[in-house]
Amino acid sequence: MTQDDDSQFRRDALDYHESPRPGKFEIAPTKPLSSQRELALAYSPGVAEPAKEIDEDPLEAYRYTNRRNLVCVLSDGSATLGLGDVGPLASKPVMEGKAVLFKHLAAVDSVDIELDVESTDEFVQCAQALEPTFSAINLEDIGSPACFEIEERLRDTMDIPVFHDDQHGTAIITGAALLNAIDIQGKHIEDVEIVFAGAGAAGIATANLYCSLGARRENITMCDVHGVIYEGREAGMNPYMAQYARDTEMRTLEEAVEGTDVLVGVSVGGIVSQEMVASMADRPIIFALANPEPEISYPKAMEVRDDLIMATGRSDYPNQVNNVLGFPFIFRGAIDVSATHINEEMKIAAVHALAKLAREEVPEVVSQAYGEDYFVFGPDYIIPKPFDPRALLRVAPAVAEAACESGVARRPMDDTQSYCEHLERLQSESKGFIRRLMNKAKGANVPKRLVFPEGENAKIIRAAQVLVEEGLAEPVLMGDPDTIGKRARKLDLSLEGIELLDHFEDPQYEEMAEQYHELRRRKGVTYTDAKSAMKHREKYGLMMLRTDRVDGMLAGVSKAYREVARPAFEIIGVEEQVEHASGAYIVMSDDGIKFFADTTVNISPDADTLAETAINTAELALALDFDPRVAMLSYSNFGTSQHHDAQQVAEATRLFKERHPDIEIDGEMQIDVALNEQLRKETFDFAEISDDANVLIFPNLDAGNIAYQLMDQLGGAEVIGPVLLGMKQPINVIALGAPVSSIVNLSVITILKSQIGGSIELVPDEAAE
């Protein structure tokens, strides 16, 4: 950064913390408090009941209070970031930041407490007194060697996890990086020589964990400001450093580094020279973690060694070591089983979970966040990226399982898969919803064959691999197999379980052309025209669907909607009892899941088309295990306007009731009436929906399309779609430029439609909300 950049960043940081209100988080109620009865339940006299239960059994506190999900970030500010001993008050912004990361990344509620104490004894006594309030304590930014004694004493005397992240967080993240780096470099952890530049809290804890992972203590050389820690040294020593004292003639960091395999810097910037790097063993590994200036910069190190794997604490170079990859998820797993400690088994489980995650395909959302096309496991990607959303789903279950197996869990997990699904719901309602749909789709046991005409598209290839890995489908990718293969290799994706189809080489090409000619010959299509039409992958894929060679088709990620929808109507057509197809989006927000229609097909529908749209959308809701409550939307409420547009919606409501009297529907009504139970009770108590509507039918395409996009862009909602309704066979049009996750989600909907096969009989009593 230039001086001007530094000045601007400083102003931005201060503004961020000051506005629109000081600090970074607030406390919000989780229960309603809008009536006298609710007040009586929340406080006196109702609060006495859980108090009595907890008095009889202290573990009931995890059931009736926020203790179950409440972690304390505890510090005295004696070693705050690179600022040193700034004291408890000045450290508060840092601790608030830690609390925010707990909440944002793992849905763990956290409170920061800064202690103004003079001694280790005082700190320990204060922390011990907090045990009834919290499910765990994260120690933060406490000076060494006091941090060792504090953690040891608290761990020995408290029945909740106490974890000093500056020690163990760094150890766990670099432990995962080390396992992957030595594997890439063709070495073995029990053989490598390791040098530490820095013998403080992070250095000692990291060395300890490396030994637990298989490194040999006699292969570790520890250095600090006084040089090598050797047997007999007196300067600056403490008992924690003494355990790594070596019988050696080496006295300087420069001497220690020569010929070593691994250099771990947890010290200060600029202390490692290019000459030191050049003197290391073949295929060396360097973790230069001082921040913002590493022990040696990434460019300088790579300048002298092209066989080097390097990680730093910086985000502008490959392999950033950032503790956010660890502590939120480690605590999540520990508190979810009410662990009494975070033990070595749990730390090792976290290491292996992160190491394994780095070898998985990286989702598009992560690549986009870092402005990259893709990340592939290798020298420049040995640990997951910070803020990878999968870290919660890998690390927390691994930690929880280790807690159960090692005997420190007071509320052991019953089912790891259910726990993972619970974690997905913590991340977002949409993830939980999609996971339920995936489980439902897997229920058929036999994966459905889905054809993707845009098989050469990188997003389609990624989505296909996800579908295979999840056991959901057998994808058929249309295109040139060589092109698909090259792109898959570039993305480090496996094509196992995926069929590649060059339809020009398909033995059934002539048969497809003949079938298409037979279908369209009375529409002016000659056999020559049919053969020409079959050159188009979308039309060929649709013919494969029509002739039952596949169970569903998805296309459109690189094409306009009409380019896929129009041939779909020609080749597949609508169901016999349906005159007009329609399009719907599933909209997921904090207020629940809603179905919006028509969003893509009918521009100015008449009453009969609106009724059909409502029926098709209600069928979709039923298919996904929702009890539909349909609101026919308008600017008018129940006849307040006699305009044609409003009366048309009222007529559509009448037609729906006539055809399906058992389904809850009403209209015409405004959106606030549809979604506000109190308003309905006070003003329209005759409304015939028992709860807020979850199927919203818009009066025209303008309204429906704008509404779902407003929810997507401004309302913070997540959407799935567009889902093409009323078709004879499962065909869906992918939104132009849709991300991989949206393609997978729409594929799941397509699979479910293929399992159902045709129209659904509307029987609401069989559905479950």
What's the rounded Cα separation, in Å, for the pair 630 and 615? Answer: 9
The residues with which 593 forms a beta bridge, in sequence order, are: 588
The DSSP line for 410-460 is SS--S-HHHHHHHHHHHH-HHHHHHHHHHHHHHTTSSPEEEEES-TTSHHH
b (16+ CB within 10 A) / e for 387-399 = bbeebbbbbbbbb
How many whole angstroms from its chain centre is CA 269?
34
Query: In 3-state terms, what secondary structure has residue 533?
Result: helix
- Candidate list 24, 31, 62, 98, residue with the active-site label: 98
Q: What's the alpha-carbon Rg for the chain, to the nearest Å?
A: 31
Cα-Cα-Cα-Cα dihedral sign, residues 554, 558, 560, 562 = negative
The DSSP line for 612-659 is HHHHHHHHHHHHTT---EEEEE-SSSTTS--SHHHHHHHHHHHHHHHH
733, 568 Cβ separation under 8 angstroms: yes
What's the rounded Cα separation, in Å, for the pair 409 and 346? Answer: 11
729, 581 Cβ separation under 8 angstroms: no
What's the rounded Cα separation, in Å, for the pair 454 and 470? Answer: 21
Amino acid at 674: A
What's the rounded Cα separation, in Å, for the pair 484 and 736? Answer: 20
720, 742 Cβ separation under 8 angstroms: yes
* DSSP assigned state of 217: G
- Residue written as token pair 């092209």: 306
What's the rounded Cα separation, in Å, for the pair 572 and 732? Answer: 11
What's the rounded Cα separation, in Å, for the pair 55 and 75? Answer: 30
531 is catalytic: no
The DSSP line for 279-312 is TSPSS-EEEE--SSS-SS-HHHHHHH-TT-EEEE
What's the rounded Cα separation, in Å, for the pair 34 and 299? Answer: 60
Measured distance between the N- and C-terminal CA atoms of the chain, rounded to whole angstroms: 54
- Where is 49: in which H helix or E strand? helix 48-56
How many whole angstroms from its chain centre is CA 199?
35
What's the rounded Cα separation, in Å, for the pair 669 and 621? Answer: 20
223, 195 Cβ separation under 8 angstroms: yes
Beta strands across the sheet bearing 448-452: 499-501, 473-478, 448-452, 552-555, 731-733
b (16+ CB within 10 A) / e for 626-658 = bbbbbbbbbbbbbeebeeeebbbbbbbbebbbe
Q: Which of 767, 769, 725 is nearest to 746 (CA)?
A: 725
98 is catalytic: yes
Query: In 3-state terms, what secondary structure has residue 711?
Result: helix
How many whole angstroms from its chain centre is CA 743?
16
Query: Within a 10 A sphere around the Cβ of 368, how many other Cβ atoms?
Result: 12
Residue 332 φ/ψ, nearest 5 degrees = -55, -50
Query: Max CA-CA distance within the chain?
Result: 98
- Candidate list 24, 31, 43, 298, residue with the active-site label: 43
99, 73 Cβ separation under 8 angstroms: yes
664: which 2 tokens? 């809850």
Q: Where in the sequence numbering do the catalytic residues fall?
A: 43, 98
